[in-house]
Amino acid sequence: MTLDELEPGQECYVVKVNIGGVIGQRLLDMGFIPKTRIKVIRNAPLVDPVDLLIKGYHLSMRHSEAKGVEVTLL
Amino acid sequence: MSKKSNEILVAVAGQPNSGKSTIFNCLTGARQFVANYPGITVEKKTGIYYYKGDKVVLVDLPGTYSLTSYSLEERVARDFLLHENPALILDIVDASNLERNLYLTFQLLEMDIPLVIALNMKDVAQRRGLQIDTDKLSRQLGTAVVPTIANKGKGKEELRQAIWETYKNRNSNYIPFCINYGKTLEPILTSLKKQLSENQNLSKSYSTRWLAVKLLGNDSEAQKLV
């Protein structure tokens, strides 16, 4: 499954980053590497963006970007 | 010694929001001025201070998460480190976000330029219950690590001292930290490094190991260098 499918409160591990280019590189730089634990905190009122907790910090991203992150539920 | 040899060029690098500019202002005080470099839309600030008779020139680089060549900020920061020959890098690390920040630190270490780490926002980290063993961090990375709380001016003198000492000792005790990329990649890196070392122009200007790592990562700017 992909990161955009998770509901607030759910946790997962990163399996793979499926997007390349600038966004893919940025995700890798920010810690989206396999086996990294992520918790979905909440969605914005109009769904986008989504607030995540990764490696001890909060990160907001679009669902379209989260779709590029393959994860497995905790 | 000529006058020029006492001018210490220090690049201030770090991830966004790690407090680079706060530390920059804290160290340089009122003497700070802003400079625009032509051809680049991202601003680099330059400031000076004097310490024990030496002039220290600080250049505040744009904040970057890493040093690839994907974004303009990263290219500006990287080109400065590659081509302007700073004597050392002052790496500002957000202590409350250590793991992510150290990623850039390792990339900076790989460039083979002496490094001083300012472990900033120590108070924020402490409030979150994080205790960081700075001595151990310093031993493992082979660099000076100075805890700071820049917005309160704490650690300023210690940082100035560490920059000065690292500069004075730059030729004697600096052992570059080396990341081991494992059994698959290391042999390739070694052979690539050997080939690059044969080109004297390249090996004089750049760390060949750094170039080898970047070439292996298919980095477009590194490809232009060779």
The pLDDT tens digits for A19-57 are 988 899 999 999 999 999 999 999 988 888 999 999 989
How far is Cα B215 from Cα B223, in angstroms, rounded to an integer?
Answer: 6
pTM score: 0.88
Mutate to test the interface with A, among B18, B67, B70 (most CBs of A within 10 A): B70
Instruction: Please list every residue in chain B whose beta carbon sits closer than 8 Å to the beta carbon of residue A56.
Output: 97, 99
Angstroms from A8 CA to nearest CA on chain B = 23
Alpha helix (H) ranges present in B86-176?
Answer: 98-110, 122-127, 134-141, 156-168
Q: Which residue type sits at B92?
A: I
**pLDDT of amino acid B30:** 55
Please judge whether B100 and A22 are an interchain contact, meaning their C-beta atoms are less than 8 angstroms apart. Answer: no
Q: How far apart are CA A43 and CA B42, in angstroms?
A: 32
B7-168: what fold? Rossmann fold (3.40.50)
Domain spans, chain B: 7-168, 182-225
User: In this predicted structure, what is the pLDDT of residue B1?
Assistant: 44
DSSP label at residue A74:
-
SS3 content of chain A, % helix, strand, coil (to 5): 20, 45, 30
Please check the confidence at residue A18 and state whether its pLDDT lies above 50: yes
Q: What is the pLDDT of residues B21-77, one digit of tens each?
A: 889 988 988 555 544 444 344 567 888 999 999 999 999 888 899 988 788 888 889
Report the C-alpha gap between B155 and B147 in whole angstroms. 6
- Residues in chain A with CB shorter than 8 Å from the CB of B71 are 22
Report the side by side order of strands in the sheet with A69-73.
A57-61, A47-54, A37-44, A11-17, A69-73
Extract the residue ranges of chain B whose pLDDT is less than 70.
1-5, 30-43, 173-176
